[in-house]
Amino acid sequence: MLTSEDKILVTGGAGYIGSHTIIELLASRSAHVVSVDSLVNSSHAVFDRIERITGKRVVNHHVDLCDRSAVEKLFAAEPDIKGVIHFAALKSVPESTNYPGRYYRNNIISLLNVLDACQTHGIPNFIFSSSCSVYGNIDVMPVTETTPLQRAESPYAYTKQVGERIVDDHVLAGAGMRAISLRYFNPAGAHGSGLNGEDPTNAPSSLVPVITRTASGRIPMMHVHGTDYPTRDGSCIRDYVHVCDIADAHILALERAGSGAMEAMHEIINLGTGKGVSVLEAIATFEEVSGRGLNYELGPRRSGDVVAVYSDTTLSERLLGWKARRDLHEMMRSAWAWEQHLATESVR
């Protein structure tokens, strides 16, 4: 069990999943959390929101993790780190297909620099943010961790396939580190208070923030990308999982890595609910929860998207004792509360 003595470095701590994980680390474990984030896709306001929810101020090192000497200085300035959760990455599938070089450079070099520093400083526990996009287009559902990986459908997805391999190689090279890669399905929703949620500085490409921004009028109209897929209503199917459930899983993964209970030095675990939801079903759920009709248009397929993907949950239940607790209604309710709260933040 993590305690207030344990210093955890969260890379990408100002981001969507990083900030929710920090809130959980502070609220449920009182851990000593340090963040590093270049704010390339987030803002410093996140740390005010974290403080408002938890009463605690988190230090953020404003560092680009691709800058190797800055990373070395950061780790030298933060001794005795017990574990690193590496969230920092660029994450937009469509943007990665347009700017592959930006994605390969950012996601791979930052990972290498962080792993090198972990090795140099003997950091024992490492959690890597992977993604269900590593599976590519597969026919057999639900997806288990042993499902063979297909060709990555986007440069982003390939950075995660390669990222897992890089983590594997570092562990095998005897870095003395235990690692867990968590393959998230589709994180969605916001903190139950509605005071923290997804707030990217780049245009969002995930479905739920596009839905909530359309409902609030920040986006005039949204597009459903593809209605001719071989699915029950023609739109893509995803496994939406609440961001606070994802945050809980990171804490359990850190504790598992630190407990000596691991079955291999690098474990790979899916984080999903096991339920597939289509884009049109997600829109209908939002409309029901919010009481608002969404302005959307049916459009062509988007490059890089896979048809359907949802997770088998057996391994996460067995190894982490983790099961998603919050449903799609709660994801939509909290995301909508967050969107409405953001409007009041920006007029303050």
What does the binding site for ligand NAD look like in residue numbers (CB under 6 A)?
12, 14-18, 37-42, 64-66, 87-91, 106, 110, 129, 131, 184, 186-187, 200, 206
Alpha-carbon distance of 126 to 317, in angstroms, equals: 20
Alpha-carbon distance of 34 to 225, in angstroms, equals: 38
Q: List, as one string, the DSSP characters of 280-315.
A: HHHHHHHHHHH-----EEEE---TT--SB--B--HH
Q: What is the CA radius of gyration of the chain?
A: 19
With beta carbons less than 8 A apart as the criterion, state whether 345 and 272 touch.
no
**Residue 258, SS3?**
helix
Strand pairing report for 125-131 and 178-184? parallel
Residue 134, strand partner residues: none
With beta carbons less than 8 A apart as the criterion, state whether 238 and 281 touch.
no
Out of 16, 103, 135, 156, which one is annotated catalytic?
A: 156
Alpha-carbon distance of 310 to 322, in angstroms, equals: 16
Q: List, as one string, the DSSP characters of 135-189.
A: G-S-SSSSBPTTSPP---SSHHHHHHHHHHHHHHHHHHTT-S-EEEEEEE-EEE-
Least separation in angstroms between residue 39's CB and ligand NAD is: 5
Nearer to ligand NAD, 133 or 285 (CB): 133
**Residue 61, SS3?**
strand
Look at the block and give the residue holding tokens 């929710």.
20
Least separation in angstroms between residue 243's CB and ligand NAD is: 8
Q: What is the DSSP code (8-state) at residue 239?
A: -
Q: Nearest to ligand NAD by Cβ — which residue?
A: 15
Closest CA to 37 of 71, 11, 70, 69: 11
Asked if 158 is an active-site residue, the reply is no
Alpha-carbon distance of 82 to 115, in angstroms, equals: 14
Enzyme catalytic residues: 156
